[in-house]
Chains A and B, each alone.
Chain A
């Protein structure tokens, strides 16, 4: 069922939701951009609908809601391993179709790959529900339509903002009461509402269906070796990058206590494959780029049946060296077609 209401009325709905949920959405952090005088649009907690940025793409993705950049796994005391307690509240995340579809990728790694589901991911993932944000037009560098991730039915609410009016579609019976309670007292109107999805992006990709080892020695990768600086921004902004590294430490003011945590890892940053003793299997940025591209557009699919990349284009948005992942895939397709030599 769809409803139309004023932002004031919708904020009442949000207030009610906040009793049971932590609500995360794209927000604008003023002056927090990398460069002086620029803002950072990223995920943050919201308390009213005006806090939500509808018209810009976030730099970082919604994955942080269940896969934080740094996460404590255990606290150590003298003899004990203690797992940190978790907030009992649910998590409601405003997300676009690509980002919602990205969770299917994270689920594959964290819940399906290997013998056990990841308990840290699972305990947050179970609490997670989506508020769909539509994209009336794709953003710069988006290519979701090419990845088939431009649509989703996995959402509890759809929220559309037009002027001072909010349109809200309830797609999860668990949320019906919430609106109907508010419905009696004021001017909330029932409306017919259907989610709109982008069907075409400016950037279009044809994913080469058979990317294999024969491309590994192509000079294409050497170009990236000279361009990429290995900063890892592409990985950290990616909604599907799931790698982590574990760290142990002791507290300096109490060395008998400490913690084990995991932090995001980047396959583009030196050291990702480095073993104790210093041996590293991928040493150049070209090899690292090749590994990342193969993972996103071939390897993952072989294992899980669908491509990892969701076409959000953030890696392209954030690369300080203007390296475009979709452009690289286009080049691979051209090579496959006998175009680029």
Chain B
């Protein structure tokens, strides 16, 4: 048989960090070199396989932030450091980092949507001179759902970070409200120079993009990332197809000019 692209390889779990009750970040020993925003197919033999975006990576490791939502992720959450899982990939297209150079980059991430852009944030945080300005707007359902608390705190020392929750609690002293509210009040003297990344649940993406458009940000300056059912990641299984586009091949990251035409 020819080289089998469905064959995953075994990777060791170096570190598990509990972000919330249902979101864990797994640091894995791996030599793969993903682009920012790509995904891998994660599997546990005999349990199943699922697509997970790479939330960060470095020399000899990758990191994924996995929410406990189904059969595979339920079992993944029971694994311990030193245990193994299987991966294949990376797949898809990542964020066009070159495009953001010398621009005012605004990243708007809703909930777990922060995971696929985390490496982008880190990339520009490490190279703040590459962009004119960097903003991160990130929203979560409640204070208990906030991801990457340590990173958010560190980032906020270096650039403008807005964290908001849909509904606060008695201990929450931060922002409350939807992301769109914080987009509305942004002021872009030169919207042509603004590049925007929007990642999150479908409704959040839809309305957030609308707000940026209202502020005059051109459609071609907006990048989004899709989440769809994917079995193969190889453009065969068909589940992620929209129009003539396979999200696993041409996405998950799309320019909004393309994304707006993709009606499921």
Contact = CB atoms under 8 A, between A and B. Distances in A.
Interface of A: 73-74, 76, 81, 83, 86, 109-110, 113-120, 122-123, 213, 216, 242-250, 255, 257-260, 262, 265, 267, 272-277, 279, 281-282, 287, 291, 294-295, 299-300, 302-303
A119 B45 contact: no
| Chain B CB within 10 Å, residue with most, of A242, A246, A276, A294 | A276
Given A213-B263, A291-B264, A117 B239 contact: no
Contacts of B46: 76, 248-250, 255, 257-259
B185 interface: no
13 contacts: A74-B6, A74-B7, A109-B236, A113-B236, A114-B236, A118-B234, A244-B237, A244-B238, A246-B49, A246-B237, A273-B264, A275-B227, A302-B244
B118 to A, nearest CB: 20
Given A246-B49, A281-B264, A115 B227 contact: no
B49 A114 contact: no
Interface string B215-258: 00000000000011101101111110101101011000000000
B238 A258 contact: no
Nearest to A244: B237
Contacts of A275: 227-229
Say which size band chain B's interface belongs to: 35 or more
Chain A interface secondary structure, helix, strand, loop or mixed? mixed
A243 B5 CA distance: 17
Given A81-B45, A116-B3, 17 more contacts: A74-B6, A81-B7, A109-B235, A110-B236, A114-B246, A119-B1, A119-B4, A122-B2, A246-B231, A248-B47, A248-B48, A258-B46, A272-B239, A275-B227, A276-B71, A276-B72, A299-B243
Interface of B: 1-8, 43-50, 67, 69-73, 202, 227-229, 231-232, 234-239, 241, 243-244, 246, 248-249, 261, 263-264
A122 B236 CA distance: 13
Contacts of A295: 241
Contacts of A73: 6
| Chain B CB within 10 Å, residue with most, of A109, A114, A213 | A114
Contacts of A244: 231-232, 236-238
B236 A247 contact: no
A308 B228 CA distance: 23
A302 B232 contact: no
A258 B50 contact: no
Contacts of B239: 243, 245, 265, 272-273
B236 A115 contact: no
Nearest to A274: B229
Contacts of A246: 48-49, 231-232, 237
A248 B229 CA distance: 16
A255 B72 CA distance: 16
Nearest to A242: B238
Given A115-B5, A245-B237, A260 B45 contact: yes
A76 B45 contact: yes
